[in-house]
């Protein structure tokens, strides 16, 4: 186990190093922030001052070294548009993003797994065909389109739910979140549903395919002939055996969800990291873009790591050292 | 000389199991019918639309905000209504679909060329090249492709060329992994050994012996990929980092219409979105059918 952890840590550092190089090259080679920060009729001298202030006059490798040293200390410079430290700004927006991700994840587990099991247990039934049709429709719907439809139906026409913002924010266990208030929940429903749709559809298809394969196995027939209740066969015996791919996909999807919050947050004007990223891309706000990317890179690397560790708990046959 | 051969091939195809299943699958028939219609509309659309939505001179502000023709206040000239500038939504959709389809199809063409080449080389030659390519693929797969595309587009700016580059960069991995995997198993087959013994060059073994064997997988992935690329492009354009304003795609039409959705003008954004859904849904249905028929193990 220790050997595995060591190897894995080394790999993670390597991946993060590559990401830092890519982020640095992309952000420093493409686009020039100087012109975004200065008025149109700035003099050459003013331009030169800003270039020196941002350290853009130094050779690239020196810039990278400075970038890396600062990045390790969590310093990505001040945002060009918000004038506060970039990482701090992102971290302050993190709770807003993670709360819609958590609710979306909850919806996915609840609906995705139960509908998938249902469709996989009786693949020929009418309900299964309906579920599969729905899931195919689900992966064909762009999430921004779903967001628009929700806004039009639930907010503009029916006026049941608010269209934008986080709503009232309360405190649970010292964390300030919308999940603590009723108004917050009213705001969170539509963004989370938008975010969860693609995931639910994917999980349904995955669980169904797995279930269809497992249900043919002898141990299922045995459990049935022994007289185990149908529900227990499905959720106890069969589902347990397809958890590995499901957990993998959940890990991948957690990353995917965080990426898609950029869209959801833009549509619902949700003040999270995703909207911050889109705004920063429009303004070429380099410190925020680099900080965001390295922040999510670390997040994804950690998620993948946790997924690997989870494997060993789900399936003791898996040996991480091999 | 050529004619009878072609005719023979056609007859073999018409009597094949594949075509027989196709005839019996309503979803496959409906989805291919939809796609043919969509493509014909995109090709011949400009001849039948009531206006050229790019030509600002043909827009008339007094015709703005017209609802679809069947609603109160609708105008029979504008079947799906008009937007805030008096632009006919149906015309805009047809012109927009040309951009979306172009990006989807050319994007898949480029992606598959790059991905297949890398996969064939990595799988056939193995060694260092293989290790490096697959390592890059692993690192890339750790990150959601939408985020990579957003990042690239954000830094390079909106343009069709940049979208194609971004799509290729996010899409090659899947081709490369699948092609490489297939090559590894095909490489061990006796007919490949036989070709080597006869003295075929590496290039001709790859192109004539191995490539045809991975073709079914490629067809299946490519079909589904066109749909996902159209959707990715629409999403990027919706966020304002996709196509430039001068060539609105379906995604950009949605983004334009989204601004007036709150005032209840739903048709401006919902119809273009619905058209994306119809196209992508038909592609996915057809792709699912092809996968089940040609290569069920891709599931």
Domain limits of chain B? 46-271
Residue A35 pLDDT grade (very low, low, confident, very high; cuts 50, 70, 90): low
B141 and B163 in contact (C-beta within 8 Å)?
A: no
Residue A44 pLDDT grade (very low, low, confident, very high; cuts 50, 70, 90): confident
Cross-chain Cβ contact A297/B143 below 8 Å: yes
* pTM for the predicted model, two decimal places: 0.85
- Minimum CA–CA partner of B242 in chain A: A282
| Eight-state DSSP code of residue A215 | T
The predicted model gives A180-191 an average pLDDT of 82
CB atoms within 10 A of CB B20: 11
Structure tokens at B257: 């219409």
Helix residue ranges per DSSP H, A151-285? 182-214, 218-225, 230-232, 243-267, 273-282
pLDDT at residue A62 in the model: 83
- How many angstroms separate the CA atoms of B257 and B83, rounded? 7
How far apart, in Å, do the first and last CA atoms of chain A sit? 11
| Eight-state DSSP code of residue A177 | E
Please tell me whether residue A72 adopts helix, strand or coil conformation.
helix
Nearest Cα of chain A lies from the Cα of B224 at a distance, in angstroms, of: 10
Chain A touched by B149 (CB under 8 Å): no
What ipTM does the predicted assembly reach? 0.83
Nearest Cα of chain B lies from the Cα of A182 at a distance, in angstroms, of: 24
The predicted model gives A162-170 an average pLDDT of 75
pLDDT at residue B227 in the model: 93
Cross-chain Cβ contact A149/B281 below 8 Å: no
Chain A touched by B34 (CB under 8 Å): no
> Cα A120 to chain center, whole Å?
27
**Residues facing A177 on adjacent strands:** A170
pLDDT at residue B49 in the model: 77
Helix residue ranges per DSSP H, B142-208? 145-156, 160-187, 190-198, 202-204
Chain A touched by B160 (CB under 8 Å): no
Nearest Cα of chain A lies from the Cα of B210 at a distance, in angstroms, of: 29
Structure tokens at B286: 């057809």
Cross-chain Cβ contact A140/B151 below 8 Å: no
A31 pLDDT more than 60:
no
- How many angstroms separate the CA atoms of B98 and B149, rounded? 21
- How many angstroms separate the CA atoms of B99 and B101, rounded? 6
A238 and A261 in contact (C-beta within 8 Å)?
A: no
> Within chain B, which residues score under 50 in pLDDT?
1-2
Cross-chain Cβ contact B155/A26 below 8 Å: yes
| Eight-state DSSP code of residue B67 | P
A175 and A96 in contact (C-beta within 8 Å)?
A: no
Please provide residue A271's backbone torsions phi and psi, each rounded to the nearest 5 degrees.
-80, 65
Q: Which residues contact B109 (CB under 8 A, 6 or more apart)?
A: none
Structure tokens at B112: 């598959």
CB atoms within 10 A of CB A164: 16
- How many angstroms separate the CA atoms of A38 and B226, rounded? 42
Chain A touched by B266 (CB under 8 Å): yes
**Interface-testing mutation among B146, B230, B255, with chain A (most A C-beta atoms within 10 A):** B146
- How many angstroms separate the CA atoms of A298 and A277, rounded? 16
- How many angstroms separate the CA atoms of B166 and A55, rounded? 29
Task: Tell me how far CA of residue B278 lies from CA of A141, A205, B231, in angstroms.
Answer: 9, 20, 11
A39 pLDDT more than 80:
no
Q: Does the domain formed by B46-271 have CATH 3.20.20.80?
A: no
- Residue B229: list chain A partners with CB under 8 A: none
Largest CA distance in chain A: 86
A144 pLDDT more than 50:
yes
Interhelix angle B2-14/B17-24, nearest 10 degrees = 50
- How many angstroms separate the CA atoms of B258 and B1, rounded? 59
A155 and A169 in contact (C-beta within 8 Å)?
A: no
Q: Which of A22-36, A268-282, B111-125, B232-246 shows the lowest per-residue confidence on average (mean pLDDT)?
A: A22-36
A322 pLDDT more than 60:
no
- Residue of higher predicted confidence among A159 and A208: A208
Q: Which residues contact B82 (CB under 8 A, 6 or more apart)?
A: B63, B64, B65, B66, B75, B88, B89
Chain A touched by B5 (CB under 8 Å): no
B91: alpha, beta or left? (left if phi > 0; alpha if psi -120 to 50): alpha
Please tell me whether residue A172 adopts helix, strand or coil conformation.
strand
Cross-chain Cβ contact B150/A163 below 8 Å: no
Structure tokens at B24: 């019996």
- Minimum CA–CA partner of A290 in chain B: B151
């Amino acid at each position: 186990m220790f050997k595995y952890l060591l190897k894995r840590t080394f790999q993670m550092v390597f991946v993060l190093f590559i990401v830092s190089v890519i982020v640095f090259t992309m952000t420093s080679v493409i686009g020039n922030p100087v012109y975004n920060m200065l008025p149109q009729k700035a003099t050459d001298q003013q331009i030169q001052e800003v270039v020196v202030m941002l350290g853009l006059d130094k050779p690239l490798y020196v810039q990278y070294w400075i970038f890396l040293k600062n990045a390790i200390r969590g310093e990505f410079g001040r945002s060009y548009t918000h004038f506060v430290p970039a990482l701090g700004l992102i971290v302050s927006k993190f709770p807003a993003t993670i709360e819609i991700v958590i609710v979306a994840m909850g919806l996915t587990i609840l609906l995705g797994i139960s509908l998938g099991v249902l469709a996989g247990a009786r693949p020929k039934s009418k309900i299964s065909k309906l579920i599969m049709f729905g899931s195919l429709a689900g992966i064909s719907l762009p999430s921004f389109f779903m967001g628009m439809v929700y806004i039009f139906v639930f907010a503009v026409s029916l006026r049941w739910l608010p269209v934008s913002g986080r709503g009232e924010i309360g405190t649970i266990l010292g964390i300030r979140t919308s999940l603590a208030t009723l108004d917050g929940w009213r705001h969170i429903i539509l963004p989370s549903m938008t975010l969860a749709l693609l995931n639910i559809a994917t999980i349904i298809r995955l669980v169904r395919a797995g279930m269809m394969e497992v249900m043919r196995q002898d141990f299922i027939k045995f459990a049935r002939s022994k007289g185990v209740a149908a529900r227990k066969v499905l959720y106890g015996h069969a589902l347990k055996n397809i958890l590995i791919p499901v957990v993998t996909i959940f890990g991948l999807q957690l990353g995917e969800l965080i990426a898609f919050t950029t869209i959801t947050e833009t549509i619902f004007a949700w003040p999270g990291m995703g909207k911050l990223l889109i705004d920063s891309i429009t303004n070429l706000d380099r410190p925020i873009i680099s900080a965001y990317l390295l922040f999510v890179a670390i997040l994804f690397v950690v998620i993948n790591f946790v997924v690997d560790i989870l494997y060993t708990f789900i399936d003791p046959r898996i040996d991480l050292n091999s | 000389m050529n004619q009878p051969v072609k005719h023979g091939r056609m007859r073999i195809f018409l009597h094949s199991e594949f075509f027989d299943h196709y005839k019996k699958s309503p979803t496959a028939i409906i989805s291919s019918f939809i796609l043919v219609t969509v493509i014909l509309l995109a090709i011949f659309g400009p001849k039948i639309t009531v206006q050229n939505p790019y030509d600002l001179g043909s827009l008339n502000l007094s015709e703005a905000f017209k609802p679809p023709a069947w609603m109160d206040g609708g105008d029979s000239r504008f079947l799906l209504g008009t937007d805030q500038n008096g632009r006919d939504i149906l015309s805009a959709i047809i012109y927009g679909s040309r951009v979306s389809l172009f990006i989807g199809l050319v994007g898949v063409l480029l992606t598959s060329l790059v991905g297949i080449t890398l996969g064939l080389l990595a799988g056939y030659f193995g060694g260092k090249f293989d290790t490096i390519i697959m390592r890059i693929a692993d690192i890339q797969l750790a990150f959601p492709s939408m985020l990579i595309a957003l990042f690239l587009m954000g830094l390079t700016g909106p343009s069709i060329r940049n979208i194609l580059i971004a799509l290729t960069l996010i899409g090659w991995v899947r081709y490369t992994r699948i092609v490489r995997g297939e090559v590894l198993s095909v490489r061990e087959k006796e007919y490949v050994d036989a070709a080597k013994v006869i003295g075929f060059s590496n290039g001709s073994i790859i192109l004539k012996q191995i490539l045809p064997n991975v073709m079914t997988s490629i067809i299946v992935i490519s079909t589904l990929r066109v749909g996902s690329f159209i959707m990715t492009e629409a999403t990027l354009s919706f966020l304002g980092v996709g196509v430039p304003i001068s060539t609105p795609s379906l995604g950009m039409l949605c983004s334009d219409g989204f601004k007036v959705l709150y005032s209840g003008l739903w048709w401006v954004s919902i119809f273009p979105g619905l058209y994306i859904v119809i196209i992508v849904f038909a592609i996915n249905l057809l792709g699912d059918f092809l996968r089940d028929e040609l290569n069920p193990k891709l599931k």
